[in-house]
């Protein structure tokens, strides 16, 4: 089922999501729905808070909706090592009609649990590293808006206020 994506400034997006320690049928269904939603919305990553569930679960596929050849589903992802910095432009399904240049770590090591709650570890760099960091930000209540300069953020807040009227 394709889920509704919450948009900034929805308060769920600003919450710190809770770790998962037990796999329930609801969580299994949520994984399937999140993957379907990510591909349908042409995203390369999605975090559970974006669909209204404040739990530490992300899915990502840097190959995108056309290829769909590198799907990863990770519970409780944690960055345990970082190396170097790189700046690039990012967009977010929850932050409409804007983008933001963000400096991220270049290479990272991510530890977490897979779909069966077995430990997994990913060493990544480049685009995948960036997507991981973006999605983990969501679990900590952060979006690309939190990376904007004060001026850019003020202008963006003004723009979305107009949409809400």
Mind telling me the catalytic residues?
A: 135
Pick the piece of the chain touching Ni ion (CB under 5 A) from 6-14, 86-94, 111-119, 157-165.
86-94
Nearer of residues 113 and 144 to Ni ion, judged by Cβ: 144
Do residues 23 and 114 make contact, with C-beta atoms less than 8 angstroms apart?
no
Do residues 99 and 90 make contact, with C-beta atoms less than 8 angstroms apart?
yes
Q: From start to end of 2-147, where are the E strands? A: 45-47, 57-60, 72-92, 95-113, 119-124
Q: How far apart are CA 100 and CA 144, in angstroms?
A: 6
Interface residue with Ni ion, options 92, 113, 124, 136 (CB under 5 A): 92
Of the candidates 42, 153, 37, 133, the residue with the CA atom closest to the CA atom of residue 90: 133
Pick the piece of the chain touching Ni ion (CB under 5 A) from 85-93, 103-111, 118-126, 154-162.
85-93
Position 51 contacts Ni ion (CB under 5 A)? no
Pick the piece of the chain touching Ni ion (CB under 5 A) from 22-30, 72-80, 88-96, 150-158.
88-96
Nearer of residues 124 and 136 to Ni ion, judged by Cβ: 136
Nearer of residues 46 and 124 to Ni ion, judged by Cβ: 46
Q: What is the DSSP letter of 2?
A: P
- Contacts with Ni ion, residue ranges (CB under 5 A): 92
């Amino acid at each position: 089922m394709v889920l509704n994506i919450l948009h900034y400034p929805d308060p769920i997006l600003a919450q710190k999501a809770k770790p998962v320690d037990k796999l329930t049928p609801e969580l299994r269904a949520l994984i399937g729905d999140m993957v379907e939603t990510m591909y349908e919305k042409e995203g390369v990553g999605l975090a559970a808070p974006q669909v209204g569930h404040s739990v530490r679960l992300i899915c990502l596929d840097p190959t995108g909706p056309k290829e769909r050849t590198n799907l990863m589903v990770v519970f409780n992802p944690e960055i345990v090592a970082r190396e170097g910095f790189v700046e690039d432009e990012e967009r977010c399904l929850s932050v409409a009609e804007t983008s933001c240049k963000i400096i991220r770590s270049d290479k990272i090591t991510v530890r977490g649990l897979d779909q069966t709650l077995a430990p997994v570890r990913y060493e990544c760099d480049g685009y995948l590293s960036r997507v991981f960091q973006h999605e983990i930000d969501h679990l900590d209540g952060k979006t690309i808006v939190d990376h904007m300069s004060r001026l850019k953020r003020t202008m963006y807040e003004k723009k979305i206020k107009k949409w809400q009227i």
